[in-house]
Structure 1
Amino acid sequence: MIKKARFIISNTDHNKCPAPDKPEFAFIGRSNVGKSSLINMLTNHKDLAKTSGKPGKTQLINHFLIDDKWYMVDLPGYGFAKISKDIKSTWEKMIADYMKSRPNLVAVCILVDSRLEPQKIDLEFILWCAQSDLPFVLVFTKADKQGKTKTDANVRAFLDKMIEMFDDEPQYFVTSAEKATGREELTTFIQNEVQEYLDGN
C-alpha cells in the first residue's frame, strides 16, 4: 500500500518536469472519468488531487512523489467538449510532448468509465499510445455506480474491442474510488513495476 504521497510541481512544459530519475506512472482519461477521486483513493489522501463535478478541472501536468520512490502524474483529461479548439490543441500537444519525452515513464494508466459502452475517444487515445510505443494499462472506474453484471458486460465489451484492435487484451483493473475496489491490485502492480525498474537501472 502507498504510505506517503506529496505534491511536487505543476507544469505546462514537460521540460520543467522533475528530473526523470524515478519511475513514473501517468494517469489520464476522458474528462470526468473520476481521475482525481481515483488518485485520492489510491494514495489514501482525501484531497491530494483536486476533485470537481465539472470536467476539465486538471489543466496541468501534476507530479506527486509516492513513498519517495516513484512519481504519480495527473494529466489533463482528453475529450472535454466545452473548451475552445485552441486550448484543446494546446492540451493535446502538452500531453503528447510530455509522454514522448519521459524515458522514465513506466506505464500510462488509461482510465475508462465502466458505466459506458466503448467510447470512440478512448479507443482513439489507446491506439495513439500503442502507435507511439507507450506502455499502458486500462483502469476501469466507477464500478460501484451500477450492478456488477452491467460493469462486467461493459468491461468485456471494451476488452473485446482491444482484441479486435491488437489481437490481445491489455492488463486491466476494475476500480471504485468510493469503495476502494481495485486499490490493492493496482498499487501492487505499480509497486512490482517500480521494483523491476529500480532493479534494472
Structure 2
Amino acid sequence: MEDTELIKNLKNGNDESFRIIVDKYQRLILNSCYRFVYNRETAEDLTQEVFIEVYRSINMFRNDSKLSTWIYRIAISKSLDYLKSRKRKKRFANSKSLFENEDMIGSTSLKDEIQAPDEQSPEKLLDNDDRIKILSLALDCLPENQRIAFTLSKYDEFSYKEIADVLGITISSVESLIHRAKVNLRKKLYNFYREYL
C-alpha cells in the first residue's frame, strides 16, 4: 500500500494503516535514534515516542513532503530534545574533552584523555567494537547540523535532496555540511590513529 493511501486511511481513523506505517519505518527510525543516543533501550523509547507523535499529528501532515521525511524530522527532533534534556550525559561531555584539540594534528592530550577514563591500553581500545566507539565519539563532537547531515547520508543512505527536505535547507547547504563533517572527522580520527597505529 502506498504512503499516500496509508495517510488518507489513517486520517479517516483506520488504525490498521498506522500499524503498517510502524512496520514499514520502525527499524529505520530506531537505527536513526540509536545513532544519536548510543543506547538501545533509550532509542527504543524514542522510537515509540516518534510513532505516538505520528499518530497524534497525522492530521497536520499536509503532503508537502514524503511521509518518511516527516517521520525522520520528528525522530531527529525527539532525539535532540532528549540529548538536551539530559545535557548529553557524562559520555557526551567526555567526548568533547576527548577531542578538544581537534585543530592540532597529533595532539598529545588526546592520548591522556583516552586512557584516563578506564585505564585501557591503546591496543585494547582498538579491539572489536572500540573502533565504532571512537567513530561515535568523533561524530558526537561535530556541530549538530553536520552530524545530522553526515549520518543521514552515510548510514541512512539519504540523497542530498532528501536530507535538504528533512533539515529544511538547500541542497548546496547539505553538500557544505557533509564536506565540513568529513574534514572534521578526518582531523579527529587522524589525531587518534596517528598516536596509536
Q: TM-score, normalised by structure 1?
A: 0.28
Looking at secondary structure, tell me which structure has more strand per residue. 1
Would you tell me which structure has more helix in proportion to its own residues? 2
Q: Which has the larger radius of gyration?
A: 2
